[in-house]
Each structure stands twice: as structure tokens, then as C-alpha cells.
Amino acid sequence: MTMRYSIVIPTYNRAADLAQTLESLAALTPSAPWEGIVVDNNSPDDTRGVVEAAQREFPAPLRYVFEREQGRSAALNAGIALAEGQIIVTTDDDVRVPPEWLDVCAAALDELGCDYVGGRVEPLFGGALPAWLPNRPGKHWAVLALLNHGPTPKPFGEHVAPLGVNMAFRREAFEKAGVWSNRVGRKAGTLMGQEVREWMRRAGSAGLRGFYSPAICVRHVVPASRLTKRYFRSWFYWHGVSRALMYGDTGQNMENPEDTTMDFSTVPHVGGVPRYMYRSALKAVMKSAGALVRRDPIAHFEHELWVWFFAGVVRQRRADTGTPPAVPHPIR
């Protein structure tokens, strides 16, 4: 019988989280054959033992793959190369899924007539929210890999992008657009990202279409260790590094890649960074100070985080000897 679904789960050194995720996946009730593929990205813990223990009672084929090349993108690619499903679903090692998840993904692909879909990612907070963190969708949610673009389907593109923790692809999408780039994306010791946006750019050039579907939903575990200013500052710093890497390769707007309409090769630069961003950084410092005086902890920290983002941009652009392309190509 033809394999309908393949779930690819990259993991690194989180065996306890992975065990609970596999327990959640074992409760899936799809209407067609499916498989799980766990890709161990050089974990020093008992990841392999966790997968082997789960295999004994797992309701579908569950494969363990070891990928030596470090990086979430490399791990995903290893899993995709082995996937037998017509629909390839990507997630993380710290999620909880509803029983109907896979069939909902397939229905969205068919109903929206597209090549890939992504959906909501709701929180399972492992600690109390601090005063500076709003409990609603917004900039802060991206740090925690949470997402909600509203109650209606939307095409991916301007202001709407998916998270890799909850995406599904027709397998032909990777044949047409290629697999993930390991130049960007999460690696051990960093909080880099942007692998989804980088892939979306190539997918658009290949004529592929993607949609946000609110019906597709998973819950993402957010441990207390991530509900700290230190984690948020580090995430925004590495976010700046990642955006600067993409800028050097493609000329995309670092602050809002989907809104790229300017040829940045014509913009004055200082240290490889568009000059106007230095003014923006100064304004962010002033706004952060003003919010502190007003005793507005949310606004104060939000403006501070932009400065950390800018620091990452400066670091990477000074290290990058490349220049933006003459004609940027925005995500379609």
C-alpha cells in the first residue's frame, strides 16, 4: 500500500522531550498509511535509546536516522531523502499534536490547491509569563516558535510566513524547489533561523504556492528557560545574523524580507549595513529609554530587542565580504 504521510522530526540532545513528542504522535489516527522518521543530529544523550523504545509499540513504522552534519536543515534533508510518503510533514521534538493532524494537513493541501501548507502553533508554557512578555500573537511569539495568522487561510508571502514546526509539503515540492539550505537555520550553539524563508524564495521561483491554514494546529512546549530576557536577547541577536546572511545572498530587506522592493545596491552602506539602519538603531535606544521612564516594560524590552537584532546584523555584515545582488527578488 502506498505510503501517504512521512513525518520528519529533527532532534538534538533532547531525549526527554522527544519521548513525550513520540507519545503524542503515537496517538495519531490518519486515514492512510504513515511513518515517522527521527533524525538524530549528533545528540550526546540517549536519543537513539528513546527511539528504539518507542519503536516497540509505535503504531506505524518509526525509523531512526543519524545525521553527522550539524544543523536542523541538514537533519531535515536526511529525513526527506528517506521519506516514502506522498506528503512530507515537518515538526520538532517538543510538540503535541491532535489525532487528526495528518488528515487535516492533506485536506488543506487539496482545498487550497497548493504545494505546501503551514498552520497555527499554540503555546504550552512551562512557567509563568514575565511582565515584559505579552500573551498574544506578535513579534515576541516568533522567539518562542509560536504562530497565529488569524482565523482564515492566507497565501504565504507579504507579512505571512510559516514555521517549520508545523508544515506539510507535497513531496514534488522538494523535487522542484530543492531541499533546505544548511547555510541558514538552527545549529548547535546558535539560535539561527530563516531556513523557511530561504526555501520559500526558491519555491516561489519554481512556481510553487503555499498557504497558511488555521485548521492545522500543534502545541509547542515552551520551557521556563526560554521565558527569560537572556534567551530573547540571544534569539534576536542570532536573528540579525541570519537576516544579514540572507541579505548578502539575495538583497532582501533585513527588517521585513517579504516587503523587499528596493535595490539595496543603490543604498549608502556603512560597514556593509544600510546607513539608515544606524538611525533606526538610535531611535530604538531612545524609544526604549522613553518606555522605561513611562514604566512600560513591554515597550521598553521590545525596543531593546531591536538593538540586539541590529548588533547581529552588524556582526555578520562586517564578516561578510559579499554584496547584495543588483536586483533583489522578493518572496512571491
User: How many whole angstroms separate alpha carbon 61 and alpha carbon 313?
Assistant: 43
Q: Identify residue 156 by its one-letter amino acid code.
A: F
The H or E element containing residue 119 is: strand 116-125
Is the separation of the CB atoms in 88 and 8 below 8 Å? yes
Task: Name which CATH class applies to 5-226.
Answer: alpha beta
Asked whether residue 262 carries a pLDDT value surpassing 50, the answer given is yes
Is the separation of the CB atoms in 31 and 60 below 8 Å? no
User: How many whole angstroms separate alpha carbon 182 and alpha carbon 251?
Assistant: 19
User: How many whole angstroms separate alpha carbon 316 and alpha carbon 235?
Assistant: 15
CA distances from 61 to 36, 51, 77, 87, 330 (A): 6, 11, 19, 15, 40
Asked whether residue 328 carries a pLDDT value surpassing 60, the answer given is no
User: How many whole angstroms separate alpha carbon 70 and alpha carbon 46?
Assistant: 18
- Grade residue 326 by pLDDT with cuts at 50, 70 and 90: very low
List the domain boundaries for the chain: 5-226, 231-319
In sequence order, which ranges of the chain are alpha helices (DSSP H)? 15-25, 47-55, 72-82, 101-112, 139-143, 171-177, 195-205, 229-250, 275-293, 297-319
Asked whether residue 59 carries a pLDDT value surpassing 70, the answer given is yes
Give backbone dihedrals phi and psi of 119, rounded to 5 degrees, phi first.
Answer: -140, -165
Work out the number of other CB atoms within 10 angstroms of the CB of residue 80: 19
Quick one: pLDDT at residue 274? 86
Sign of the alpha-carbon torsion through 189, 194, 196, 202: negative
> Hey, is 65 helix, strand or coil?
strand
User: How many whole angstroms separate alpha carbon 226 and alpha carbon 238?
Assistant: 15
Q: Tens of pLDDT along 117-141?
A: 999 999 999 988 898 888 777 778 8
Helix, strand, coil percentages, rounded to 5, for the chain: 45, 20, 40
For residue 173 the three cell numbers come to: 515540492
For residue 200 the three cell numbers come to: 520559500
* Helices 15-25 + 47-55 axis angle, to 10: 20
Q: Tens of pLDDT along 135-171?
A: 777 778 888 889 999 999 999 986 788 999 999 999 9
Is the separation of the CB atoms in 162 and 210 below 8 Å? yes
Which of 45-54, 104-113, 187-196 is least confident? 187-196
Quick one: pLDDT at residue 187? 64
Quick one: pLDDT at residue 133? 86
